[in-house]
Amino acid sequence: MSTATGTQPTPAAETPKHDEGVTSAKAFYDSLASKKRPKLPKPQNAVTIAVSSRVLFNMSEDRKMYEEEGVEKYVQHQQTHEEEPLKTGPAFPFVKAVEEVNKQLRALYPDSEELFDIVLMTNNHAQVGVRLINSINHYDLNIERFCMTGGKSPIGYLKAYLTNLYLSADSEKVQEAIAEGIAAATMFIAKKDLVLSEKQLRVAFDGDAVLFSDESEQIVKEKGLDSFFEHEKKFENKPLAQGPLKCFLESLGKLQRKFHAKGARLNCPIRTYLVTARSAASSGARALKTLRSWGLEVDEALFLAGAPKGPILEKIKPHLFFDDQMFHIEGAQELGTIAAHVPYGVGQKYHKSTLKEAEKK
């Protein structure tokens, strides 16, 4: 086929010419091939993380338009600006770190499908999808699975996508997910920027009502600290029941062991932390023995005996910190930690008003 000016195409035998930065046709096509997206794992083999559009991207102004001007104006705005990438949100560094782990796993295990898989799970309308796709491509994210539910709650789809963790800006949807037995948390934007590792995914967990059940917190609230310490000493060798995030730590541990098997324990690109208000001498043993009984471990365990968690987290610089107490979330936010609230256990009735206020900020 000739061009619009009538110029004949380059004969097949001739070598195409390219920019000076590409010295040969082979180098040119190699550069294109290098941009090919990696093959996605089968869902049954993957660690699937569902993220909402409002945590992957910063859509606070868009959300305000939706609430004040309605869905039609919102959809029209997204279509008008669909070539303009959305700004990054609190889950973005976590997703980028996850993709780095996948890159290193593929290098060690080229045929393995035990990888992270990110799903965009949103109640946005399909008409907004083009802007979301363009934004994902702009940031070169490997996200191919989408669920856009057109204003309906996406929670019913989480199990169908075999979700291991759900991250959202909507606390009510997170509560729905946890009620369905799915690990979930409400994400918040940090109030200052920290430089996070680009080569190592770091995830920090609170203990009670996050990794473990809230049975010990119930004793504290009902009978006080002295009774709590007595209880933990008495039942030191009885494992705590599991909490809502235990299964996600289990998923992280499964991928960590793949690196350990290749002699990469010390420079593993996944690092986990237990950051708990428990005191080591009085109640720490039961927490560690519980993890051991589950066949799980954390890389670092920090027992703070009631001290603020923010300064410790500022040193750790996790991509994500999970806690069930809003005052710990807020303290972490103030010092730059990306935090996620787990609505579980006896304290949640008290936290609901605080949580709603935090969502508005």
CA 317/CA 145 separation, integer angstroms: 29
Q: How many other C-beta atoms lie within 10 A of the C-beta of residue 198?
A: 10
- Residue 137: in which H helix or E strand, if any? helix 129-138
Strands 57-58 and 87-88 turn out to be: antiparallel
- Find, among 196, 204, 276, the residue nearest to 240 by Cα: 276
Q: How many other C-beta atoms lie within 10 A of the C-beta of residue 201?
A: 27
206 catalytic residue (yes or no): yes
Tokens 């992280």 identify what position?
A: 252
Candidates 206, 208, 214, 324; catalytic one: 206
Extract the runs of DSSP E, i.e. beta strands, from the chain. 47-51, 57-58, 87-88, 116-122, 145-148, 163-168, 184-188, 201-205, 270-276, 300-303, 320-323, 339-341
Tokens 């294109």 identify what position?
A: 32
Q: How many CA atoms lie within 13 A of 297 on its CB side?
A: 9
What does residue 258 show for φ and ψ, rounded to 5 degrees?
A: -65, -35
Tell me which residues are annotated as active site: 206
